[in-house]
Amino acid sequence: MALPKLKADATEARLATLELPIGGWTDTARREALARVQAMGLPARRDEYWKYTRPDTLVAPETPEAQVYEMDEQLLFDEVDRLCLVFVDGVFDAEASDEIAGEGLEITRLAEVAGADIHWAQGLYGTLEAAGQVPVPRTLAALNTAFATDGVLIRVTGKVEKPILLRYFHRATTSDAMLHHVIKLEPGAQMTLLENGPAAARFNKVMEVEVANGATFHHVRAQGRDHQRRAATHIFARLGAESVFKSFTSTANGVLTRNEVVVEFTGDDAVAHVAGACVGDGDFLHDDTVFITHDAVGCESRQVFKKVLRNGATGVFQGKILVKAGAQKTDGYQLSQSLLLDDDSQFYAKPELEIYADDVACSHGSTSGAIDETGLFYLRSRGVPEGLATDLLTLAFLAEAVQEIEDERLQECINTRLSEWLERRRG
């Protein structure tokens, strides 16, 4: 089926600016991904899946400028004992990175090993992304598989104690970065992945995660503060029996962010929690798009997304739980809420349940509201000034999402960031 002309033209215009890396073990995956991009076309304004978020600047041949934000605070996760890899505008910075080695841990960079003929990641690279293209195209992710210049490939066979931190700096006003990570947790393995930073003026990131039977993957991400940066990120996760996948994202600022998470349960009794807390002020659009497929028995999925919006900021949530026939005893929960701090801000939510099994418990709730006036009066009547009281209530609103982070130290890091963000606005 041919693409509409506008879409085909826009796709070709974007492809003309990129060069397909050739050779090595990713070669086939990249060529197939390019074919997918050409067949599906890049997202356009009229696409149903992009109803609330305009993809124009994410697909444009030229990268829109994004001023570099001067850091005035301590780097996030600095107080946590972790191993760190640094990327600057998508380019690896060896000097700033730790030498990473650990028991039960294998890490290489995509750019380092792409020329090799074989690699353990060969069966995964682009595979989970390709599987996630049905029933809705996620063409930006296919574009990433085809053209990613670097990324990390992590294979975990044991219980890795120290979190691994990927730190992304943004230093060039028109940088356009594409990173593609592949993470494989072998049966029973455990790891925590942290990510932080604005990454680039425009950032396209894909992370494919395979969590084998009985393995546990924790992910905590804080997207950077640069006001004008844009990001389209995808996480594709495939979960084996009795595995655990928990991913949390906090976002402060960024003119445009689209975070897609695609989870598929393939083994019984697994758990997936996906959560997000975002705070936006002014020219800010944040879109969480989640698609969870239950194709196994007794799995639990939980989505908790909270958005604080002010001065005309916009929040979008599209979340779907698909329960396939036979996926009995599914426990699916979805919550998306926004706190609108003024009348100019907006929240669009599209929660969806599609269920083909009869013995399941699924629920979803979506709300949009203002600060609780009664609570505010109560706090103020105890002498707490209005601004501080509002911040306390705002953090309380976000708490349910932040508490999805299992590690309390990491919770604390994120909470501190969020309260500092609020405090700066209080002046």
Partner 1 sequence: MLEIKNLHVKLEEEDKQILNGVNLTVEAGKVHAIMGPNGSGKSTLSYVLSGRDGYEVTEGSATLEGEDLLAMEVEERAAAGMFLAFQYPVEIPGVGNMTFLRTAVNAQRKARGQEEMSATEFLKVVREKAKTLKIDADMLKRPVNVGFSGGEKKRNEILQMAMLEPKMCILDETDSGLDVDAMKLVSDGVNALRDEGRGFLVITHYQRLLDHIKPDVVHIMANGRIIKTGGPELALEVEHNGYADILAETA
Q: Which residues bind partner 1 (CB under 8 A)?
A: 372-375, 377-386, 388-389, 392-393, 395-400
Cβ closer to partner 1: 32 or 372? 372
Cβ closer to partner 1: 117 or 374? 374
> CA-to-CA distance for 212 and 215, rounded, in angstroms?
6
CB of 332 to partner 1, least distance (A): 23
Helix (H, G, I), strand (E, B) or coil at 26: coil
Cβ closer to partner 1: 125 or 397? 397
CB of 391 to partner 1, least distance (A): 10
CB of 384 to partner 1, least distance (A): 5
CB of 338 to partner 1, least distance (A): 15
Cβ closer to partner 1: 39 or 399? 399
CB of 91 to partner 1, least distance (A): 41
CB of 305 to partner 1, least distance (A): 16
- For residues 87 and 151, the answer to whether their CB atoms sit within 8 Å is no
Cβ closer to partner 1: 47 or 420? 420
Q: In which element (H, E) is residue 178 found?
A: strand 176-185
Q: Which long-range contacts (CB under 8 A, 24 or more apart) does 356-360 make?
A: 356/323, 356/324, 356/325, 356/327, 357/294, 357/323, 357/324, 357/325, 357/326, 357/327, 357/328, 357/330, 358/328, 359/328, 359/329, 360/294, 360/323, 360/327, 360/328, 360/329, 360/330, 360/331, 360/332
Cβ closer to partner 1: 91 or 392? 392
- For residues 222 and 76, the answer to whether their CB atoms sit within 8 Å is yes
